[in-house]
Amino acid sequence: MSELLEGGTAGLADRAAALAAGDVTSRELVQRSLDAIDGVGAQLGAFRRVRHEAALAEADAADAALARGERAPLLGVPIAVKDDTDVAGETTPFGCVGDFPVVEQDAEVVRRLRVAGAVIVGKTTTPEFGQWPFTEGPGFGVTRNPWNTDHTPGGSSGGSAAAVAAGLVPAALGSDGAGSVRIPAAWTGLVGVKPQRGRVSTWPDAEAFNGLTCNGPLARTVQDAALLLDAATGNHPRERHRPPAPAESFAAAAAREPGRLRIALSTAVPFSGPPARLDPRVREQVERLGAVLEGLGHEVTPADPRYGLVGLSFVPRSTAGVREWAGRVPDPARLDHRTRENARTGALLGGPLLWLARRAEALLRLQLGAVFRAHDVVLAPTTAQPPPAIGAIDGLSNWQTDKRMIAACPYSWPWNVVGWPGVNVPAGLVDGLPIGATLLGPACSEGRLLGLAAQLQEVERWHERRPPVFAAV
């Protein structure tokens, strides 16, 4: 096995290249990943389901394909997917308690990952229906941050983020309906991509949470995130949202210089009901990144998107989505009381108000998009605070939970309403815990954002940092 793989610094692209060159077998990589999940990973609780036998069988099949001379972008590489995603032969409890039926067919995104050759080692944890930026719940317990296990890795893709940050897998798939890829990426020191709505399939759902939620990658490097995004990109013919194909692969975009860009540095908090205040330590790091970008030749000026009352469009869509998912669980009475309350709200708002919320999206795009008349990219905090302690929402009412959640994470959700892309990049450490900044763009601007993120990575070298809980696999 190569020195790179032995040192535990190999990413997704490195492992794919080592497999294609015959330097390592898929069985070796998958077994090491499984051992790390059972060992170091036990401290973190990142996985809801580990596919020991199935993953090794898939690895053997990948090794046979490699021996025949077959090649695919991720052939034989172990990755993980979130527990809201169907994997044939597994259940999809989406963070809930109960006896869920075994799924017979892969989700479209999993099918595409298999076509690319990936080996699915397991399904990662998420809070009920992905509602909170804290990955905790009675269905699986607590998921911990590898930088400090007394703190949350964020959510709702917290299991995927913890698994990648700790080196259990080189990359993982998450989903993002209000920041659920970008928030845990920020709080675990990763690159997290919320792509354009519809870029990555949500099938068997024609759309997820009324268009708010999309699937996206988490990885330690921009290049690995782009590679996974390329493999995952595509749609089922019956999906509602099907954006135009990108002009080039995302891997190519990440490898290309972005050119001189006009960047709006924004720290304004979108209005979302309960008050939120940006921690000055987070502000300092985001402004520092702005200075780095300026040093790279970009024009960086203070400017804020016109958020207005975008939250009025978000709530009907999100709560109606919770109501829909609540109808899929075997025993709704076992759901968290806050989930049941959100489902009831969704029932009240899911008629004419949901229709109006969706109709308002075109106006909101004009309103938010005004910032791109004078700027190419917006740089904003991903969260207002560093990662909270484990148990931060235990025993709270729904309103208290919303206040705690919004105080920590008020920034990400407007881009879910309009469906546009955003990329979290690590911004530094506060008290030894990672925080992030998000690069935001208009419709279908993933390539530009990835190129800019890759340019930042060359200077910041965040992929070279390792948390205290780390498995060198």
**pLDDT tens, residue by residue, 111-130:** 999 999 999 999 999 999 99
Give dist(CA 116, CA 25) in Å, integer: 17
Q: If we measure between CA atoms, which residue out of 229, 215, 210 comes closest to residue 86? A: 215
Cα angle for residues 174, 345, 183 (degrees, 5° grid): 25
Give dist(CA 14, CA 77) in Å, integer: 10
Q: Is the pLDDT of residue 208 over 80?
A: yes
Q: Is the pLDDT of residue 277 over 80?
A: yes
249 preceded by a cis bond (ω within 30 of 0)? no
CB neighbourhood size of 327 (10 A): 9
Give dist(CA 424, CA 437) in Å, integer: 6
Q: What is the pLDDT of residue 271?
A: 79
Q: Is the pLDDT of residue 4 over 60?
A: no
Asked whether 240 and 254 are in contact (CB, 8 A), the reply is no
Bridge-based pairing state of the strands 422-430 and 191-194: antiparallel
- When pLDDT is averaged across residues 143-154 and rounded to a whole number, the result is 98
Bridge-based pairing state of the strands 136-137 and 141-142: antiparallel
User: What are the Cα distances from residue 303, in Å, to 259, 260, 267?
Assistant: 20, 18, 9
Asked whether 172 and 41 are in contact (CB, 8 A), the reply is no
- When pLDDT is averaged across residues 55-61 and rounded to a whole number, the result is 98
- When pLDDT is averaged across residues 276-284 and rounded to a whole number, the result is 97
Q: Is the pLDDT of residue 1 over 60?
A: no
Q: If we measure between CA atoms, which residue out of 455, 417, 215 comes closest to residue 305? A: 417
Q: What is the pLDDT of residue 174?
A: 98
Asked whether 117 and 75 are in contact (CB, 8 A), the reply is yes
- When pLDDT is averaged across residues 89-96 and rounded to a whole number, the result is 98
| Confidence band, pLDDT 50/70/90 cuts, at residue 7 | low
pLDDT tens figures, 193-204:
999 999 999 999
- When pLDDT is averaged across residues 95-105 and rounded to a whole number, the result is 97
| Confidence band, pLDDT 50/70/90 cuts, at residue 273 | confident
| Confidence band, pLDDT 50/70/90 cuts, at residue 5 | low
CB neighbourhood size of 444 (10 A): 20
Q: If we measure between CA atoms, which residue out of 85, 48, 46 comes closest to residue 168? A: 46
End-to-end CA separation in angstroms for the chain = 11
Q: Is the pLDDT of residue 309 over 90?
A: no
Which sequence positions are flagged as catalytic? 82, 156, 180
Q: What is the pLDDT of residue 88?
A: 98
Per the listing, tokens 């009412």 go with: 397
- When pLDDT is averaged across residues 56-67 and rounded to a whole number, the result is 98
Q: What is the mean pLDDT of the chain?
A: 96
Q: Is the pLDDT of residue 6 over 60?
A: no
Asked whether 153 and 162 are in contact (CB, 8 A), the reply is yes
Q: If we measure between CA atoms, which residue out of 193, 187, 188, 189 comes closest to residue 214? A: 193
Q: What is the pLDDT of residue 311?
A: 83
Q: Is the pLDDT of residue 245 over 60?
A: yes
Q: Is the pLDDT of residue 272 over 80?
A: no
Q: What percent of the chain has pLDDT over 70?
A: 98
Burial of 332 (0-12, 13-18, 19+ CB in 10 A): middle
| Confidence band, pLDDT 50/70/90 cuts, at residue 435 | very high
- When pLDDT is averaged across residues 47-63 and rounded to a whole number, the result is 98
Q: What is the pTM of this model?
A: 0.97
Asked whether 253 and 451 are in contact (CB, 8 A), the reply is yes
- When pLDDT is averaged across residues 38-55 and rounded to a whole number, the result is 97
Q: Is the pLDDT of residue 183 over 80?
A: yes
Q: What is the pLDDT of residue 2?
A: 54
Q: What is the pLDDT of residue 283?
A: 98
